Amino acid sequence: MSGELTWAGYLDWLVGSVGTLTAVAERVAAERRYREDVGSIERALRRLRARGNAAGGKWGARLLQLFGMPDAVVRRVRFMGGYHSRFTDLPVPICEDLIRQWDRPPTTDSRSLHAWLLLARANVDLRRDDATSASEHLSQVELLLGGGDGEVDREAQVERLLVAAFIASRHDVGRVASLLDEIEPVFPKISPSDERACLFARFVDQRAYELHRRAPQGEETLQAAEALYLSIPTDDAPPFALCRRANGLAFVHHRRGDGARATELAQQAATFAGDGGHVRLRAMALSMLGRVAVDPELRRSARARALEISRRLDDELLRLRFDRKSPKPT
């Protein structure tokens, strides 16, 4: 399903799934124990069809509760809301245009999908280095998710906490550990998938960053950080997770003074990012290479390429990250 979704398009999907509009009305009537007759419900659905992108009211809500959203729409909106998706490889203005196209009913009448759209807005806010607006969107996500415990809700909750922890790592470091602690028990409830693997890799990266920042620097800390990155599975892992693993290990070996191994791992990270089509992630791997490479010319060229990618993506957060001395997790 391409472009924006209207109530007419939603009802066309329902008719295609169930058979006829009358059959849809019959399902709704049965669900409601025939408090309204089928004919009345069918007339209400015909009125709903004409609402375009206006709020669906009680009948829109009833349809969404009973039938949910088309899988194609769910995938599209989750793609926009996930930081580790290739949506973040698009230039920021294009991301904003695409979010705006979907940020309206009937999509936003779905609680879960509305939460994912707000997550998409929070990630764009951060790419513009606007943590205040991002935090406001995350607060709305928290209210929307409430006690939701479906697969989509769990993944959205982890996404929210990861983004909140990243913001806290820059503005309120005392909250980071508790936010990450909230995430850990959720992972066993998420089915194995590329999404779970990417979320876990981001979680590990943030744990390791906190370890580097808070623990005394020495071999014990480096071993703990290395163990965290090695806990990211490699079997059938998506390129995003493999890149995060290699990039984190590169930093560990850099801290150990093993420049050759650090360089090799940073180059692997850049390759994994490229294999997955992750332009923004490749810039991060190149930035790491620009820190750890033994060859001064390789360091210079890698950093220049990373900065050029951030410029072409109109990504202020990337540019600021590359200008800082310490790598930041996300």
pLDDT tens readout for residues 140-193: 999 999 866 677 889 999 999 999 999 999 889 999 999 999 999 999 999 999
207, part of any domain = no
Q: Looking at residue 315, which CATH number applies to its domain?
A: 1.25.40.10
Residue 57 forms part of a structural domain: yes
Q: Does 35 share its domain with 108?
A: no
Q: What is the pLDDT of residue 217?
A: 80
Same domain, 262 and 325: yes
220 and 321 share one domain: yes
Please check whether residue 1 lies inside any domain of the structure: no
Q: Cα separation of 175 and 169, whole Å?
A: 8
Which residues are CB-neighbours of 310 under 8 A, at least 6 positions away? 283, 318, 319, 322
The predicted model gives 217-236 an average pLDDT of: 94
Would you say the C-alpha torsion 108, 203, 244, 211 has a positive or negative sign? positive
pLDDT tens-digit series, residues 40-84: 999 999 999 999 999 999 999 999 999 999 999 999 999 999 999
Alpha helices in the chain (DSSP H): 7-18, 21-31, 38-49, 57-67, 71-81, 92-102, 111-127, 131-145, 151-171, 176-183, 194-214, 219-230, 239-256, 259-275, 279-292, 296-312, 316-323
Question: 102 in a domain, yes or no?
Answer: yes
Expressed as residue numbers, the domain containing 287 is: 215-330
Does the structure show a pLDDT above 80 at 194?
Answer: yes
197 domain residue, yes or no: no
Segment 14-19 mean pLDDT = 96
Token pair, residue 31, equals 């669900």
pLDDT of residue 325: 47
pLDDT for 147: 63
Domain match, 125 and 183 both: yes
66's CB contacts (< 8 A; 6+ apart) are 27, 28, 31
- The pLDDT, as a whole number, for residue 149 is 67
Q: Are residues 119 and 182 in the same domain?
A: yes
Q: What is the mean pLDDT of the chain?
A: 93
Q: Are residues 142 and 49 in the same domain?
A: no
**Domain stops at, among 137, 156, 191:** 191
Query: Would you say residue 243 lies in a domain?
Result: yes
- Domain for residue 200, yes or no? no
Going by the DSSP 8-state scheme, the letter that residue 175 receives in this structure is: G
Question: How far is residue 327's CA from residue 287's CA, in Å, rounded to a whole number?
Answer: 9
Distance between CA atoms of 24 and 12, rounded to whole angstroms?
11
Assess whether 179 and 75 both reside in one domain.
Answer: yes
Q: Are 328 and 321 a contacting pair, CB within 8 Å?
A: yes
pLDDT in tens, 244-255: 999 999 999 999
Do 251 and 147 share a structural domain?
A: no
List C-alpha distances in Å: 293 to 175, 221, 263, 286.
33, 22, 5, 10
199 lies in some domain: no
Residue 1 has pLDDT above 90, yes or no: no
Domain count, the chain: 3
Q: Residues 112, 89: one domain?
A: yes
Q: What is the pLDDT of residues 99-121, one digit of tens each?
A: 999 999 999 999 999 999 999 99
Q: Answer whether residue 242 shows pLDDT above 70.
A: yes
First to last CA, the chain: 30
- Chain centre to alpha carbon of residue 30: 38
**pLDDT at residue 152, as a whole number:** 80
Residue 249 and residue 312: Cα distance in Å, rounded?
28
User: What six digits make up the tokens of 66?
Assistant: 């009973």
Both 258 and 175 in one domain: the answer is: no
